[in-house]
Structure 1
């Protein structure tokens, strides 16, 4: 039997996996060892656990439930601007959370458009804070993701099935039962689990709209235990509870398929004779308009109020913007380097990819706290606030990057691996000549995603950054806290433009001459 060739060295992946494991779980050990005492979680802490699970379940359910008719309408309709709308749905993580929060406040807050409309109709305005606000923000943030994932499923259905259904005179209900429902049963569980995990570890939304005994998530409780009480025992116990919750969700997600965020099939509208009735046209129009208004109105509010507020931005905003850009670029470079090493080594040992995905079950605040404790014995941790933020954001974005790099790498090896082996092309030559050119599109998308995620992060930097070393999201949060809303809107518009710009540049680079 011929000896099997392993074209890529294993040691870079082992180093990357060790770093991810140390940050995901080693920092939790560091926090626990530093704790002076451990006491049972209080009733308030268990309320935070229950609230976290309840809001994540409801947010995921509503996001997927509203995404089903929206994705179905987009899959079977052609209209001007459809490609632009789908592009917007293709990058849900690009929108910084603090920007989404400000936009939602401008539309649904006490002085927002919806509240004014309700007052004009003689009704009480809705409350955007507490449980309702957290759910609203999470649905706004994750509905585009759910729609995009489901739209991938519709795009993967062969057009011949719909033609056959038309020849058999299937109506909308028969098409749904025999063609669409089997696809949804395959995709919905995975999409639901991904959104549940995102909502479980959400921090900025709970920090802004939550708080109080009845609207505190585990992530926010960890922040409060460290920031205000410096109770490391409670912080580590809460982090362990969150790891267990996320680990159970990750274990469940391994059984389900999560579609890739590619573009295949999304711009092709299959002719659907079952959707030509007036009723189906009206239903599809309703969902397309409703979802578009829900997503675009907060962004429009940011654009209108932000344009007026940019002229009055304080000087500190520009320094914060430069720090955010530098942090985002460093985070993107590190995320690509670590993910690429893991993805390449995972061809030889599948367990390395699982280790790389494990960061999705960890708390970024606990990572920051653990690194703070380790650095405290050596230097002033505040001096390392930006590098720590870049490192933690890089590790937290790796699960999404591995999802993009893995299939692209597998395809390149499937198409060219045997030929490269026969020519003896291994190591750096194989990486440079064969793999990297075919990973360029996925790497560009992944780098843009990592940079945008880091640009909008309001987690680790909030733990121990000095006032003069804050990033742009933290400066926006401080402006909101001092009720300088117009300036916060202007800074949010700047943050949105920078995030979109970084994503566009990296994504464009990946597609150029790919």
Structure 2
């Protein structure tokens, strides 16, 4: 049953992407061959796409490693859970809102340049161009990398820390033998995810690029479809993007070491390092720097939002509709994404369970791993355009908007959810498979007694990721939205387009608060668990 459900989800994903790509490929197909020649513009766009994606990935991952290690060592301090929740907020914010927050801090009229002017320095710091794109990508992707690394570090068995403490391991030895093997196993997946997010970045590049010199392949695809309506050129650019990101994904997959998890007693992890001295000071300095870097743009959004007519927005019926629609889409997308991803991961585990899996099983497992990155290879704007062309003969495309927006959001969240659930489910299965078999547990009884208690934290975290990402989506809604389907990001975009910046700031604040509520939901299990541990310790 589980194997069939996973295969069904896999076929559905492949079919959804294939139909969209086929609709674009068959539209005026003879013109595609003429656009496959690499002119100077395509070479320039390709070079800049690779340059900014490589730099953004390197900076995000290098910044995230010490932050994740510090949060892992300092497992108990007042406000830690809020720092972890803060790391999920940028993911759920619309890129346009976050860009405005960054401009409020780093822009020409921002806080930084205001401080430099007060000091008598007249040369302003410019956020536009490559530097602004890198800053925005680090703001978005560093917290994401921290959350994924921290999830892996929290899965380290408690016996490892106990043995390390008994052996008197120094900080460098603890990092080398316990922490680094886990991070090294996560790095290829995290780096490939961040790279493809940066390579397919659209709104940030369009807002902070500063001109044609800072255009990426994604922006070129959008211009070819929206302004020139040149599907052949868009298809050629999409194929180029798929080739670049696909080659990187294959290379990083070969670099990923095999999992070394084994059966343990499942005791709670209790760390004994980083409690005093310079290491303690350094950890809190790194955590504070990351928190300030993330909070400043969010603070700018809050300050500008509080200056809006919040009472008028609360009474606005359009805001009520937008909030209700956004929440409905977010909940449906999150539930479908988490359920489908879990089914595919479990089907992959069952296919590879035999000592010598046959070719069909190996093909199914490889297809599951590859399908989770399809939306990073085929951008949402391409998916939406393909389905727009496919459904146009059936009349008004807006009739299909809710279903299409939910499905596109499911695919957008799939890479995040897969990278949260896959290592957690594989580790959980390795630790509990023999116990379940010996007790004869299966189906609902196994889920209730063993799986849900062990997987509650990653499932809630993955669901909050998916819901926040869907809540902040503008791309899919921009293609299919109408007066009958209004979401908070679409309403925000419309208010900004009509120069109602005060209302837009208030809506941005509402959107941020809803995303914060989702992150609280995602870490609720962790908070309760820590509270129970503290109670047990006091007793």
TM-score, L = length of structure 2: 0.80
Secondary structure in 1 aligned to 2:228?
A: coil
In 2, the alpha carbon distance for the partners of 1:134 and 1:186 equals 28
Deviation at 1:34, TM superposition (A): 0.9
In 2, the alpha carbon distance for the partners of 1:174 and 1:13 equals 41
Counting only pairs closer than 5 Å after superposition, residues 203-352 of structure 1 correspond to structure 2 as 203-210=202-209, 212-254=211-253, 255-256=255-256, 270-272=272-274, 276-277=277-278, 284=283, 286-309=285-308, 310-313=310-313, 315-346=317-348, 347-348=350-351, 349=361, 350-352=365-367
Deviation at 1:203, TM superposition (A): 2.4
Say whether the 8 Å CA contact 2:305–2:508 is kept in structure 1: yes
Which residue is 1:5 aligned to?
Answer: none
1:118 aligns with 2:120: no
Counting only pairs closer than 5 Å after superposition, residues 58-97 of structure 1 correspond to structure 2 as 58-76=55-73, 80-89=78-87, 93-97=91-95
In 1, the alpha carbon distance for the partners of 2:270 and 2:434 equals 34
In 1, the alpha carbon distance for the partners of 2:437 and 2:176 equals 47
6, 19, 35: which one aligns with 1:13:
6
1:50 aligns with 2:47: yes
Deviation at 1:208, TM superposition (A): 2.3
Secondary structure in 2 aligned to 1:247?
A: helix
Which residue is 1:103 aligned to?
Answer: 101
Say whether the 8 Å CA contact 1:440–1:511 is kept in structure 2: no
In 2, the alpha carbon distance for the partners of 1:412 and 1:182 equals 18
1:497 aligns with 2:496: no
Deviation at 1:376, TM superposition (A): 0.7
Secondary structure in 2 aligned to 1:116?
A: helix
Which residue is 1:356 aligned to?
Answer: 371
Say whether the 8 Å CA contact 2:89–2:515 is kept in structure 1: no
Can you give the 5+ residue segments of structure 2 that lack an aligned partner in the other structure?
260-265, 352-360, 530-539
1:478 aligns with 2:494: yes
Say whether the 8 Å CA contact 2:46–2:217 is kept in structure 1: yes
1:373 aligns with 2:389: yes
CA gap of 1:388–1:245, structure 2 versus 1, over 3 A, is same
When the two chains are superposed, the root-mean-square deviation of aligned CA atoms in Å is: 3.7
Say whether the 8 Å CA contact 2:85–2:523 is kept in structure 1: no
Larger CA deviation: 76-85 vs 296-305: 76-85
Say whether the 8 Å CA contact 2:189–2:419 is kept in structure 1: no
CA gap of 1:123–1:291, structure 2 versus 1, over 3 A, is farther
Count of residue pairs the alignment pairs up: 497
Say whether the 8 Å CA contact 1:106–1:301 is kept in structure 2: yes
Larger CA deviation: 12-21 vs 181-190: 181-190
Secondary structure in 1 aligned to 2:307?
A: helix
In 2, the alpha carbon distance for the partners of 1:267 and 1:293 equals 28
In 1, the alpha carbon distance for the partners of 2:128 and 2:461 equals 34
In 2, the alpha carbon distance for the partners of 1:420 and 1:182 equals 28
In 2, the alpha carbon distance for the partners of 1:405 and 1:250 equals 19
Which residue is 2:414 aligned to?
Answer: 398
Counting only pairs closer than 5 Å after superposition, residues 101-180 of structure 1 correspond to structure 2 as 101-121=99-119, 122-151=121-150, 156=156, 158-159=160-161, 163=165
